[in-house]
Structure 1
Amino acid sequence: MSWMVTGGAGYIGSHVVRAFRERGIDVVVVDDLSSGHRSFVPGDVRFVQSTILDGLALERAMEQYDVTGVVHLAGFKYAGVSVQRPLHTYQQNVNGTASLLAAMAERGVRNLVFSSSAAVYGTPDVDLVTEGTPKHPESPYGESKLIGEWLIADQGRAAGLRHTSLRYFNVVGSGSEELYDTSPHNLFPIVFETLLTGGTPRINGDDYATPDGTCVRDYIHVADLAAAHVAAAERIEAGEPIEPVYNLGSGDGSSVGEIMSAISRVTGIAFEPEIGPRRAGDPDRIVASGELAARDLGWANRHSLDEMVDSAWQARRAAAEAALAD
């Protein structure tokens, strides 16, 4: 028996794969490598290169590897780009999820952990987001994740699917020097690339209603996130009660200014970030409560801000050194 991890060659997915293996659970990775990396998947892990839109390939893999559950991370994850590519976003995230659910139904696979997103909340008007906070997604990406949750809930009612969806904000850090965030749209990779090329990082606005004037966001360590996915999978497979949705949040958050200070402190690279204009639609503060996930999944943000920065920086430096060695 094994669990399938869709998107398991990506930054988050590859950490989930390692977390499963640490628990002694066999996994099979399905990834089309559109944004993932084959090198992120351990050589002894079974790997299927396929899009989740290919239902027959999913069915074959489920049958061949005796899959009993799925952690679904595959998808198009760039909220900003989704505004320019809505049809592509819906095809990958909505049609892809429907394709996966159909394959699971065909093969009798009834356990699912869905990697959703806090983007479903849009710009909440509360200081602390809970699972009951109204959902107002502001991009095709956020909308596609909410639709994915609806599809899964409907299938749960129709076919007895045991499931939960995990919503989270900004994922950072690294659990292994072999794995790092390669997204061109995320804060840590953007700042690291700027520093490695001799540039000066930039903050978009410093006049927000926060203690230091910069936006406050929820940052969680990728290894803690991965552990929560596995805990949810184990709870579902054991038939234990589980909520349909959990927020994975820190409860307090960090400002962009604090992130910049931590990066300078940890890397030893002194810099004063440039201050640019605000970006349209950036709220002052978005932070989520993780109380439900702490109760049921043992969720905790176990890494300090400096530890998050240090692990991410070490992994990025290791990648840079490996590229030079090649």
Structure 2
Amino acid sequence: MVRKVLITGGAGYIGSTVASALLDAGIVPVVLDDLSSGRAEFVEGRVFYRGDIADPELVDRIFAEHPDLDATVHCAARIVVPESVSRPLFYYRENVGKTVGLLESLQRNGCTRVVFSSSASIYRPTPTGRVDESCPVEASSPYARTKQMMEQVLQDWTRGDGAEQTRVIALRYFNPIGADPQLRTGLQNLHPTHALGKLIEAHANGTPFTITGVAWETRDGSGIRDYIHVQDVAEAHVAALVRFDEVTGPGAGERYRVVNIGTGNGTTVRELVTAFEQAVGATLDVREAEPRPGDVLGCYSDVTAARELLGWTPRRTIAQGVEDALAWRSRWAARAAAATG
């Protein structure tokens, strides 16, 4: 039974929401984050170590002070696709090189259970956009390639000498939206790069919203995504930890598992705009532009494996994601304004 978990990147958007879900489930999160993009406010009242995941002395100290750690949830990563295109070496160092250093530390400290935050962006586009875990991968940006590379590293790790006890579940997220419904944490950036964040920004500032890419082979020409509430993503991590031994243990026959975490429904960017306008009761000024560097048609998930292996299904709607995202932005904007006084 999992009672205490190391979570890297636990001061970030997804990591902090996962940490909250762990607490709600009675599991103690021990957070490791360098706060380069995470927020100190998100770890208040939690066990927290500030530092680099590739710092072996720090990781050793964490395990020495918490010898009862049962698993690691690895969420720490750089995630901005356009930035990865312009700074590829930085992304490979941060996401791949440092993760290898982390794994060496985990191995040295006998941590044999890892849940890895992967990404659906590694999938090769399919004619329908629907993908399951058996579909080919073909990452199209340096960011996505770092996730694809790390999945291979992790799979090889479970097959190496002396790795008989090492087991990994890679969760391939689709497109998280929203915030912790209790508003403990959310997007730490008031100027995010993903579609819903840009919609909120356009609505708040009265500026145009631009759809980047309108000639994709989808039902309306805009990209297709699987927008999943971040709280559902967080609860999928809890489910993976609870069923970890069942899914990856000797009886399962596999020490490395990949599981899609999405809603199972595809939503185009134009459809997301419509849902957002309905939620806020206003019409946006929508414009069109060419795709950004690294943009792809997109995909949506087959969630059969998540249901059968983890006993998990998403419970929240896009409308709930929009509502929670708006509530969080309002709270975070007020907090930021008060801080600048």
> 2:170 matched to 1:165?
yes
Determine the structure 2 residue equivalent to 1:325.
338
Determine the structure 2 residue equivalent to 1:47.
48
Determine the structure 1 residue equivalent to 2:317.
304
Q: How far is the alpha carbon of 1:117 from its aligned partner?
A: 0.9
TM-score (norm 2): 0.89
Determine the structure 1 residue equivalent to 2:86.
84
Determine the structure 2 residue equivalent to 1:293.
306
* Change in CA separation of 1:125 and 1:270 when aligned onto 2, cut-off 3 Å: closer
Give the whole-Å Cα distance in 1 for the aligned partners of 2:298 and 2:114. Answer: 31
8 Å CA contact retained: 1:4, 1:71: yes
Determine the structure 2 residue equivalent to 1:195.
203
Give the whole-Å Cα distance in 1 for the aligned partners of 2:224 and 2:130. Answer: 12
**SS of residue matched to 1:30:** strand
Determine the structure 2 residue equivalent to 1:214.
222
Determine the structure 2 residue equivalent to 1:177.
183
Provide the aligned length of Structure 1 versus Structure 2: 325
Q: CA RMSD in A?
A: 2.0
8 Å CA contact retained: 2:7, 2:73: yes
Unaligned runs of 5+ in 2: none
TM-score (norm 1): 0.93
Give the whole-Å Cα distance in 2 for the aligned partners of 1:275 and 1:193. Answer: 17
Determine the structure 2 residue equivalent to 1:148.
150
Q: How far is the alpha carbon of 1:197 from its aligned partner?
A: 1.8
8 Å CA contact retained: 1:177, 1:316: no
Unaligned runs of 5+ in 1: none
8 Å CA contact retained: 2:192, 2:198: yes
Determine the structure 2 residue equivalent to 1:63.
64
> 2:257 matched to 1:244?
yes
Q: Which amino acid aligns with 2:15?
A: G
Q: How far is the alpha carbon of 1:280 from its aligned partner?
A: 6.4
Determine the structure 1 residue equivalent to 2:121.
119
Determine the structure 2 residue equivalent to 1:268.
281
Q: How far is the alpha carbon of 1:75 from its aligned partner?
A: 1.1
**SS of residue matched to 1:100:** helix
Give the whole-Å Cα distance in 2 for the aligned partners of 1:123 and 1:65. Answer: 43
Q: Which amino acid aligns with 2:176?
A: V
Q: Which amino acid aligns with 1:231?
A: A
Q: How far is the alpha carbon of 1:255 from its aligned partner?
A: 1.3
Q: Which amino acid aligns with 1:273?
A: V
Give the whole-Å Cα distance in 2 for the aligned partners of 1:3 and 1:101. Answer: 15
Counterpart of 2:19 (choices 17, 20, 26) is 17
Q: How far is the alpha carbon of 1:122 from its aligned partner?
A: 4.2
Kindly report structure 1 stretches of 4+ aligned residues shifted beyond 6 Å: none
8 Å CA contact retained: 1:9, 1:33: yes
